[in-house]
Structures are given as structure tokens and as C-alpha cells.
């Protein structure tokens, strides 16, 4: 696989009347061609801001975004138009993201019109093809969004994202608004489309059990920072960061009758991104916190002999003054 997309040192703060929200604070991530990178974390940790930075809805305060080795951080309007044909987004609420006054056919044709793709006959044919690809009857192209179920509306959102044959789709909580019974169908659809078209996804969810089904690698985000990167299997079997461990502890064990090891953590309200804690941002909730955790920011270090990265003093071999983890 080759590198498709990268974000380096991305920072995004939002000034508000109550102070500055530290939404994203120095995030690095890379997505290979054909890879699904899962991004998990609680609500408010900065995942959706990162998604909007990736498609350049938001402008980063600092950092660099590259697509296929080309710096796209400060594209002008013309450059952004071309970028958006290659990086598309699927939103959490399919109903809110679809124009209620447009037919599905019109909604799916619109990106083709905007980007001047094909004749009107070719565009109509493309719309029928897109609907078929996502499991909708092409004859329904004349219907409006409110005439579809939640799962069908998300299929429409997926078809719209596919319209311009992008290389990367940013999936921002694509199944969290759906009934449990429909989630698996949409996840299976995304999986099938990825295989068929060799696409890459940045798949964002607050639910590790959802990400576990689709991602090759997983990044765990806490209060604007990535705290752990690992391939899916390693993360699932042996989470290293105490926050990842706590997230996983709330997910049912994949082995029937075998409970996960309990984590002594009080899942109280997370701190406000208006005033992130000093040192390790997780120290106010971490059962393993030591004094230095309150003042020294842990680096996202790579574990010897692996591709795993963790930002925790207890698992950083270069921080010998910390006691061995008692996990």
C-alpha cells in the first residue's frame, strides 16, 4: 500500500465567548491507499472537527495536510473544488444532509453537474448505477428524502459520496443515528464498496465495537490529541493506553462467557476542551496517574519493534522514572 493522505501537526482552536475551545491540538495521522483508519473517542474529543479539517470545511490554525504527496493545506477555491472530488464525506445525520426539496435523482446528480461530469443522459445513467450500487431501486430516483427510511437515507448519502469516484471518504459517525438492526447492513455496504473500488476511509465513531468491524488500524483520540495508534487486532487484544482500556472495557467481550478485565476507572464527565488539564490531559480520570502526569505532556511514542504508538508515561520506555504499569 502507498500513502494517500496525511495530516501533520494539525491544530484547530475555536474562540468562543467563554474562552478558546481546544478542538484539535497537534494531531498527526496517515491513511494508506485502500486502508480504513478508524478514529474513536467520546463525544467532544475533536473527532468531527478533525473530519471537517480533512475535507477542508475548516481551515487549520497550524499543520499540514497532504493528498498524494501534494500540500492541500491552503488551497484556494479552485484547488478546493478539485480536492473535493477526491475526498468526500458521509455525515452522521443522513436526513439533515439531504435537501428535503430535491428528489434523490437530483441530489445524486448535483455533484456531477457542479463538477461538469458527462452529458445529462450520462449523468442520469450514473445516478441509476449509483442507486443500484448502494442497494436502492433506481426507479425511486423521483422520490424525496422523507419518503425513505433512516437506513435508506444513509445509503443515499453513501451514493452521493461515491458519485465523483473519490479516493478517500470521511465517514463521520455514519451509523450512530441508525437502528441497531440497520447498522450492520450499512457497515457491510461500506465494506463491500471499499473492496470493489479500492477506496480508503477515515471511519469516525464513538463506539469501538463499530470501528472494530471496519478498520485496519485504529486511532484513539482524547481531548484533541491522539493517545494511541494500533492495528485493529493488537488494539482489541491488548489496549495499552488507560483510556483505550476503559473504552474497550465498556464493549462486550468477543468471546462468549468471557468478561473483559475490569478497569478501575470512574467514567465521570470528561474535562472541558475550554480548559484541558495540564500534563497528560487524561490525568484527571486516569486510575494510574502519577505526580509527573499532572505536569509532563506524554509524547506519542512508538513501541520498540512495533508500529504501535502510545502517549502514556507508563508505557514509554524512555521515561524510566515512572513505575512499571500495573495493568
Binding segment (CB under 6 A) for ligand SF4, from list 125-133, 144-152, 169-177, 280-288 = 280-288
By CB under 6 A, is residue 220 in contact with ligand SF4? no
3-state class of 91 per DSSP?
A: coil
User: Is residue 288 within the footprint of ligand SF4 (CB under 6 A)?
Assistant: yes
Q: Is 210 in the site for ligand SF4 (CB under 6 A)?
A: no
Decide the pairing of beta strands 87-90 and 168-172. parallel
CA torsion sign for 196, 202, 203, 208 is positive
d(CA 41, CA 218): 11
Q: Report in angstroms how near the CB of residue 292 gets to ligand SF4 at its nearest.
A: 8
Let me know: does 227 contact 204? Beta carbons within 8 Å: no
Q: How far is CA 268 from the centre of its chain?
A: 24
Interface with ligand SF4 (CB under 6 A), residue total: 13
Which CB atom, from 138 or from 301, has the smaller least distance to ligand SF4?
A: 301
* Residue 280 touches ligand SF4, criterion: CB under 6 A: yes
Could you tell me which stretch among 52-60, 186-194, 262-270, 286-294 binds ligand SF4 (CB under 6 A)?
Answer: 286-294
Among 5, 203, 236, 282, binds ligand SF4 (CB under 6 A): 282
Taking CB under 6 A as the criterion, which residues in 296-315 touch ligand SF4? 298, 312-314
Q: Which of 109, 283, 308, 309 binds ligand SF4 (CB under 6 A)?
A: 283
Query: Given 3-state DSSP classes, what are the helix, strand and coil percentages for the chain, each rounded to the nearest 5?
Result: 35, 20, 45
Q: Beta strands 200-205 and 168-172: pairing type? A: parallel
- Residue 41 interacts with ligand SF4 (CB under 6 A)? no
Q: How far apart are the C-alpha atoms of 229 and 241, rounded to whole Å?
A: 10
The nearest distance, CB 48 to ligand SF4, in angstroms, is 23
CA–CA gap between residue 3 and residue 203 (Å, rounded): 17
Residues that bind ligand SF4 (CB under 6 A): 241-242, 280, 282-283, 286, 288-289, 293, 298, 312-314
Amino acid at each position: 500500500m502507498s500513502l494517500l493522505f496525511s495530516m501533520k501537526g494539525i491544530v484547530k482552536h475555536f474562540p468562543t465567548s467563554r474562552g478558546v475551545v481546544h478542538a484539535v491540538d497537534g494531531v498527526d495521522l496517515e491513511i494508506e491507499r485502500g486502508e480504513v483508519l478508524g478514529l474513536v473517542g467520546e463525544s467532544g474529543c475533536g473527532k468531527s472537527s478533525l473530519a471537517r479539517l480533512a475535507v477542508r470545511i475548516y481551515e487549520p490554525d497550524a499543520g499540514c495536510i497532504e493528498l498524494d504527496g501534494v500540500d492541500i493545506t491552503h488551497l484556494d477555491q479552485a484547488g478546493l473544488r478539485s480536492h473535493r472530488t477526491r475526498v468526500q464525506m458521509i455525515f452522521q445525520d443522513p436526513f439533515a444532509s439531504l435537501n428535503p426539496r430535491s428528489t434523490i435523482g437530483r441530489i445524486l446528480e448535483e455533484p456531477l453537474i457542479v463538477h461538469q461530469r458527462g452529458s445529462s443522459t450520462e449523468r442520469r445513467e450514473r445516478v441509476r448505477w449509483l442507486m443500484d450500487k448502494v442497494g436502492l431501486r433506481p426507479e425511486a430516483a423521483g422520490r424525496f428524502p422523507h419518503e425513505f427510511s433512516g437506513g435508506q437515507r444513509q445509503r443515499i448519502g453513501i451514493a452521493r459520496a461515491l458519485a465523483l469516484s473519490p479516493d478517500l471518504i470521511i465517514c463521520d459517525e455514519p451509523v450512530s443515528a441508525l437502528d441497531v438492526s440497520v447498522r450492520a447492513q450499512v457497515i457491510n455496504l461500506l465494506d463491500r464498496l471499499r473492496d470493489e473500488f479500492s477506496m480508503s476511509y477515515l471511519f469516525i465513531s464513538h463506539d469501538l465495537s463499530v470501528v472494530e468491524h471496519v478498520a485496519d488500524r485504529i486511532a484513539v483520540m482524547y481531548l484533541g490529541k491522539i493517545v494511541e495508534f494500533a492495528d485493529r487486532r493488537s488494539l482489541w487484544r491488548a489496549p495499552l493506553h488507560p483510556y483505550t482500556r476503559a473504552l474497550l472495557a465498556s464493549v462486550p467481550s468477543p468471546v462468549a462467557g468471557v468478561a473483559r478485565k475490569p478497569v478501575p476507572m470512574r467514567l465521570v464527565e470528561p474535562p472541558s476542551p475550554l480548559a484541558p488539564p495540564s500534563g497528560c490531559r487524561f490525568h484527571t480520570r486516569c486510575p494510574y496517574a502519577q505526580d509527573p502526569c499532572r505536569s509532563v505532556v506524554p509524547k506519542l511514542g512508538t513501541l520498540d519493534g512495533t508500529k504501535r504508538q502510545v502517549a502514556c508515561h507508563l508505557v514509554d520506555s524512555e521515561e524510566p522514572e515512572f513505575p512499571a504499569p500495573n495493568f
